[in-house]
Amino acid sequence: MTKHKGLRWIFAALIIATTVGIILWWYLPMTQEGAVIGILTDEPCAPPCWQGITPGTVVNHQTILRQLKRMPDATSVRRDGNTVKWLWANRPGVNSIYIGEDDIVQNISLQVDFELTVEGIISKYGPPDAVNAAPFGYGEDIYVLLNLFYPRHGLTCRVRVVPYSHPVLEPHSVVYEVTYSATADSVEAWFGDKVENMCLYPWPGYGELKILCPQQ
């Protein structure tokens, strides 16, 4: 009898372990999938580092190309002059790593490959040091592009705010692109002489956007 009870416990434990494994296998990819998820998790490194690549450091073009080609969701990986470009299999838009003189990474621009919202960014980094917003797009696809600037993290987040005629920023407004660059202690130090032409404003909070700059 004791032997049978022992077998039943072992069998039950195996069922539980298998069930937990299936749940984790199913749930984690659905919630954490994305090569850009490190913007929230700091894995494998925190911004402005992305996948071990950091603006302001020296890299080898071929090493970057090989690394990107090993990523399962990266397609059409290619070098275009000083820029390495690729696409995500699950998102439109071009990703790029611009490498300047002396093989130093200048910036990394990424289409966000998971569902990232303004609320998620604010929860992680707090309100941005500055923002700007302007009409963007062509034809019927015109919206308000809102940039959130975090110089101390070397981070710019781009948000699509709609409708164009009455743009309203909400917590669930989508961050569709991020750019990493070298960090700075302030917006002024980050942009240098260009800061006067950046049409910058303090964080306006949620609600109707009334800080529009000229169309980009």
Instruction: Assess whether 14 and 69 both reside in one domain.
Output: no
Give residue 131's domain range: 115-216
- Which tokens go with 191? 């942009």
pLDDT at 19 over 50: no
Q: Are 215 and 164 in a shared domain?
A: yes
Same domain, 53 and 135: no
| Confidence band, pLDDT 50/70/90 cuts, at residue 30 | very low
Q: Are 6 and 95 within one domain?
A: no
| Among candidate residues 107, 129, 159, the one where a domain is terminated | 107
**28 and 74: one domain?**
no
| Whether 28 and 45 share a structural domain | no
Residue 216's pLDDT is 54
Average the pLDDT over each of 26-30, 34-38, 95-99, 101-105 and give the range with the smallest value: 26-30
Q: Which of 145, 148, 144, 143 is nearest to 122 (CA)?
A: 148
Given a contact cutoff of 8 angstroms between Cβ atoms, the answer to whether 157 and 185 are in contact is no
CA distance 159 to 148: 8
Mean pLDDT, residues 187-205 = 93
Same domain, 213 and 129: yes
- Give the residue-averaged pLDDT of 94-103: 95
Shared-domain flag, residues 6 and 103:
no
For range 3-17, the mean pLDDT: 50
- Supply 115's token pair: 């569902």
Residues 67 and 135 in one domain: no
Q: 174: closest CA among 121, 216, 128?
A: 121
**What is the pLDDT averaged over residues 151-166?**
93
Please identify, among 64, 80, 107, the residue that sits at the C-terminal boundary of a domain.
107
- pLDDT digits over 119-142, tens only? 999 999 999 999 999 988 877 778
**Last residue in a domain, options 75, 107, 139:** 107
Total domain count, the chain: 3
Q: Is a pLDDT exceeding 70 seen at residue 41?
A: yes
- My answer on whether 181 and 212 are in the same domain is yes
Residue 125 and residue 196 in one domain: yes
**Ranges assigned E (strand) in 89-198:** 91-99, 105-111, 130-138, 141-150, 155-161, 168-169, 175-181
Same domain? For 135 and 215 the reply is yes
Cβ-based neighbours of 64, under 8 Å, separated by 6 or more: 53, 84, 97, 99
Q: Quickly state the pLDDT bin for 42 (edges 50, 70, 90).
A: very high
Highest mean pLDDT, choosing among 26-40, 66-80, 200-214: 66-80
Give the single-character DSSP code of 81: T
CA distance 66 to 64: 5
CB 124 within 8 A of CB 196: no
What confidence tens digit (pLDDT) does each residue in 64-90 have?
A: 999 999 999 999 999 999 999 999 998
Q: Can you give the pLDDT at residue 18?
A: 41
